[in-house]
Structure 1
Amino acid sequence: MTEIETRLAELEARLRAVEDEREITRLILSYAPLVDSGRAPEVAAIWDEDGVYDVDEILMSSPAEIEAMVRSGNHRRWISGGCAHFAGPPHVTVDGDEATAVGYTLMIVNGPDGFVLRRATANRWTLRRTPSGWRAVTRTNRVLDGREESPALLSSAFPE
C-alpha cells in the first residue's frame, strides 16, 4: 500500500467513526421529540428487533412493547398534560459494529404551578450497526436518587 493509499484509508476510517458517532447521537436524541409527540412506531424503530428498554418501573422486551408504552393511556395523559423529555448529548463510544452511549434525561411536566422536574435519570445504551443503520439493543434508565446503580451506569462508559 502506498503512502497516499494508507493516508486515504486512515482518513476513511476517521470519517466513518465521525459518521457513526453522529448517527448514534441523532438516533438517541430523536427519542425525546418522538415520544413527546406520541410517534409510537418511530420510537419503537429506534430499537433492533430484539431490543430491550429497561426503565426503573417497566421492562419492555421488544419494539412492540415499546410501541405499546407510547400508545398507553398513561403516556397519552403525560402528553396531553404537557411534558418534555429532555436528553443531554450522549457520550458515545464506537467499537466496530457495536457501541455504547451514556448520558442523562430529564422529564419535565406541566403542573398547577407551571413546569417542574419529575425525574432525572442516568441512561446507558448499547447499540449495533444493522443493515438499516444503528439501532438500540438495550437502553437502561435509572433514576438519579442516590442509588448506587445510577452513577454506575454513567461510569460504565469510562473504564478505569
Structure 2
Amino acid sequence: MTETTAGDLEALVRRVRVMEDKWQILELLSAYGPAVDSGSADATAEIWTEDGEYDVDSGRLCGRGELRAMVGSAPHQGFITEGSAHMLSLPHVEVDGDRAVAIGHTQLVLKVPGTTADFQVARITANRWELVRTDGRWRVERRVARLLDGRSEARALLGGVVPPAG
C-alpha cells in the first residue's frame, strides 16, 4: 500500500469539490425544461440570479421579473397549452472557483396542431450558460442562446468548449 500525503488528500478534496459543483450545475440546468414547460414562472426565474440575463436571438430578458413574465406571456402559454418540450443536451461544464460555464444545445419541440401525437422541432440553439455561486448555490448569471441556422455566432458559442485535460 502506498503512503498518502497531505498533497494527495488536498488534490482529492479539490477533485471532489469540482465534481460536486458540476453535479449541482447539471441539476440546476436540467430543471429549466420542466420549469418552463409546466409554466412554473417562479421555478424558472429561480434558476437565474436576481439580475440575471437571458440573451436569445429574438430578444433579451433582464432579471427574474422579466423571466417570470416570459413564462406567463401569451406566446409561451400557447406553446405549453398546445404541447411543448424544451430539451437540453448534456452540456460541457467548466468550473473555475465560484464561476462556471456550461455549453451545449437546446431544442424546442412543439406538438403539431390538429394532430394527436405528431411533434416537430421548432428550433435548435447553441447555448452558453454563465453561472456564479452565490450564498452557496449555483445560479445562471447569463445565458446566451443563438439559433443554429448556419450563422457563425452560434458556432462560436459551441466553439467555447475546452477539451478535458488528458
Q: TM-score, normalised by structure 2?
A: 0.90
| Residues 89-108 of structure 1 mapped to structure 2, 5 A cutoff | 89-108=90-109
CA positional deviation for 1:4: 3.4
Give the structure 1 partner of residue 135 of structure 2.
Answer: 131
Identity among equivalent positions (%) equals: 44
| Residues 22-101 of structure 1 mapped to structure 2, 5 A cutoff | 22-101=23-102
Q: Which moved more, 1:23-32 or 1:107-116?
A: 107-116
CA positional deviation for 1:132: 4.4
Letter of the 1:42 partner, please give it: A
Give the structure 1 partner of residue 154 of structure 2.
Answer: 150
Q: How many residues align?
A: 158
Q: TM-score, normalised by structure 1?
A: 0.94
CA positional deviation for 1:85: 0.7
> Which ranges of structure 1 fall in alignment gaps of 5 or more residues?
none
Letter of the 1:146 partner, please give it: G
CA positional deviation for 1:26: 1.1
Give the structure 2 partner of residue 141 of structure 1.
Answer: 145
SS of the residue 2:120 aligns to: strand
Question: Given the alignment of the two structures, is residue 118 of structure 1 paired with residue 119 of structure 2, yes or no?
Answer: no
> Which ranges of structure 2 fall in alignment gaps of 5 or more residues?
none
CA distance in 1, matches of 2:19, 2:102: 14
Letter of the 1:33 partner, please give it: P
CA distance in 2, matches of 1:88, 1:29: 9
SS of the residue 2:80 aligns to: helix
1:85-140 deviations in Å (ceiling 9; x for gaps): 11000100001111101000011100135101100100001111110400101001
Q: Which moved more, 1:40-49 or 1:4-13?
A: 4-13
CA distance in 2, matches of 1:19, 1:3: 23
CA distance in 1, matches of 2:21, 2:136: 13
